[in-house]
């Protein structure tokens, strides 16, 4: 029988997370107690109000039909949340669109707005779905290096005018994954000017908007004057409300872009389970749902960074998100360091080059374990470095 496979998959490789899963299972089969810091899946429970609303909803037999779209209460709750948290005024009916998670939305948006051959400016390193969404839509990627000396911001002025004139879309992500950096308001102002100059759609992934530390608040791209004219912003219930498995998120911003995406979605899904929608509304409306979340991750960051520093590995403290973006000791490749650490110490992290060639020399470490487990991970990493570092100097 012939193999039926679309040419769209020619640029797709096996996910690094699949490779890590295979290696983790092999380690566990050998009796290794693996500390998994590779996947950004929240280990914390959702707010109690979310579970209460879900319990009530799943017991109601009238809740099991197709929903087709997001309920009006969801759009209204998102608009109120954005006004309260970021000072952004949204029209619920036209400037808010519910998604089955922001990852699905990012892929669907690319398929809805890109034509074969369209060029997209994409961060490198960047979350893997950005590049895969472009390839699935038949587009082309122009990598924007995120370098430490530039504060992990793309240098827009270094993009050749001929490239900018071809570009149809630019993808940004602050607070970032895998690079846990923040963007100042001035940067977003320059993005708006850049987008207007070249007629480029700005797509900002804001999924880690509430995981910001040390008394700092993240800027919504849409809070900058002119941003609504040129862009949209994706957000999610997964990280801020620990509802990752519920698969509910949203995109806000330019009404014409959202209408295009809504048209695409009308052909590929029939809406989100109604109790999940009601639970999301409850979370967005709750005054207590976000309480203590950022402090929890900040404590984990400090435990890990201070412990690793004492072990001889100085890692930059992340200002936001649930990840450390850690430069690895000299003499290693990212891949070899990550897989050796897993095989020999039972600590799983993600090699930085999985997120693009400019991620080489780094690993991503997820803060998804409680402090006592992170201290155990530090001890294992310290022993690993003592045993292996002389071989890589």
How does DSSP classify residue 369?
Answer: S
Give tens-digit pLDDT for 170-192: 999 999 999 999 999 999 999 99
Among 285, 306, 333, the domain-final residue is 285
Same domain, 172 and 242: yes
Query: What is the pLDDT, as a whole number, of residue 388?
Result: 76
> Please, which pLDDT band fits residue 393 given cuts at 50, 70 and 90?
very low
Q: Tell me, yes or no, whether 83 and 168 share the same domain.
A: yes
Looking at 251, 285, 319, which one is the last position of a domain? 285
Within this chain, do residues 109 and 183 fall inside the same structural domain, yes or no?
yes
Which structural domain range is residue 30 located in?
7-45+291-392
Segments of 224-378 assigned E as strands? 231-236, 249-253, 323-327, 347-348, 350-351, 362-366
> Considering the domain boundaries, does residue 110 fall inside one?
yes
Cβ(77)–Cβ(279) below 8 Å: no
Domain end point (choices 285, 313, 333): 285
Examine residue 1 and state whether it is found in any structural domain, yes or no. no
Q: How far is CA 192 from the centre of its chain?
A: 22
- Residues 227 and 352 placed together within one structural domain of the fold: no
Give the tokens for residue 276: 């999940």
Whether 305 and 197 map to the same domain: the answer is no
Q: Could you tell me the pLDDT band of residue 13, with boundaries at 50, 70 and 90?
A: low
> In which residue are the tokens 């930085």 written?
352
Strands 231-236 and 201-205: parallel
Contacts of 13 (CB under 8 A, 6+ apart): none
Confidence tier at 389 by pLDDT (50, 70, 90) = low
Predicted confidence (pLDDT) per residue in 309-350, tens digit? 999 999 999 999 999 999 999 999 999 999 999 999 999 999
Q: Taking the model in full, what pTM does it have?
A: 0.95
Half-sphere exposure of 254 (CA within 13 A, CB side): 19
Whether 296 has a pLDDT exceeding 60, the answer reads yes
User: Are 369 and 255 part of one and the same domain?
Assistant: no
Is residue 144, in this structure, part of any structural domain at all? yes
For the chain, the domain total comes to 2
Give the residues across from 363 on adjacent strands: 326, 351
Q: Is residue 37 in some structural domain?
A: yes
Are 388 and 377 in a shared domain? Answer: yes
Residue found under tokens 């649930």: 322
Identify the residue with better confidence: 4 or 389: 4
- Do 190 and 148 share a structural domain? yes
In this structure, what DSSP letter does residue 360 have? Answer: T
Residues 41 and 59 in one domain: no
CATH classification at residue 239: 3.40.640.10
Considering the domain architecture, whether residues 226 and 143 belong to the same structural domain is answered as yes
CATH number at residue 351: 3.90.1150.10
- At residue 18, the pLDDT reads 85
Question: Do 281 and 306 belong to one domain?
Answer: no
Q: How much is the mean pLDDT over the chain?
A: 95
207 in any annotated domain: yes
Domain annotation covers residue 77 = yes
- Is 210 inside a domain boundary? yes
**What is the per-residue pLDDT across 316-326, written as a single tens digit (0 to 9) for each?**
999 999 999 99
Residue 2 lies in a domain: no
- Please check whether residues 189 and 67 belong to one and the same domain: yes
> Residue 131 pLDDT > 90, yes or no?
yes
- DSSP conformation letters of 266-304: TTT-----HHHHHHHHHHHH-SSTTTTHHHHHHHHHHHH
- The band of 218, judged by pLDDT with boundaries at 50, 70 and 90, is very high
- Rounded-to-integer distance, Cα 282 and Cα 74, Å: 9
């Amino acid at each position: 029988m012939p193999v039926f496979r679309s040419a769209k998959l020619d640029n797709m490789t096996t996910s690094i997370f699949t490779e890590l899963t295979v290696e983790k299972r092999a380690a566990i089969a050998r009796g290794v107690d693996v500390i998994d810091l590779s996947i950004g899946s929240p280990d914390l429970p959702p707010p109690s109000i979310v579970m209460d609303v879900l319990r009530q909803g799943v017991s109601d037999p009238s809740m099991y039909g197709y929903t087709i779209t997001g309920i009006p209460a969801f759009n209204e709750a998102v608009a109120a949340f954005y006004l309260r948290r970021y000072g952004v005024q949204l029209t619920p009916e036209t400037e808010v669109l519910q998604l089955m998670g922001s990852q699905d939305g990012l892929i669907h948006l690319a398929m809805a707005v890109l034509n074969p051959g369209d060029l997209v400016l994409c961060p490198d390193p960047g979350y893997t779905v950005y590049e895969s969404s472009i390839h699935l839509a038949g587009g082309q990627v122009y990598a924007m290096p995120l370098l430490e000396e530039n504060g992990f911001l793309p240098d827009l002025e270094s993009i050749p005018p001929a490239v900018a004139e071809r570009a149809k879309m630019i993808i940004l992500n602050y607070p970032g994954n895998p690079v846990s950096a923040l963007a100042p308001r001035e940067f977003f102002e320059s993005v708006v000017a850049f987008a207007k100059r070249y007629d480029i759609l700005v797509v900002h992934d804001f999924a880690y908007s509430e995981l910001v530390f040390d008394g700092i608040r993240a800027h919504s791209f849409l809070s900058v004057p002119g941003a609504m004219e040129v862009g949209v912003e994706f957000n999610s219930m997964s990280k801020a409300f620990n509802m990752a498995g519920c698969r509910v998120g949203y995109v806000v911003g330019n009404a014409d872009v959202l209408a295009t995406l809504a048209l695409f979605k009308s052909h590929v899904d029939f809406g989100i389970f109604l109790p999940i929608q009601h639970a999301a509304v409850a979370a967005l409306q709750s005054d207590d749902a976000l309480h203590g979340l950022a402090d929890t991750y900040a404590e984990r960051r400090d435990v890990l960074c201070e412990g690793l520093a004492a072990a001889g590995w100085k890692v930059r403290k992340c200002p936001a998100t649930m990840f450390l973006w850690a430069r690895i000791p000299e003499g290693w490749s990212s891949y070899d360091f990550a897989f050796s650490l897993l095989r020999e110490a039972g600590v799983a992290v993600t090699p930085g080059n999985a997120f693009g060639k400019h991620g080489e020399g780094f690993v991503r470490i997820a803060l998804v374990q409680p402090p006592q487990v992170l201290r155990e991970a530090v001890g294992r990493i310290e022993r690993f470095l003592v045993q292996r570092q002389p071989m890589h100097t």
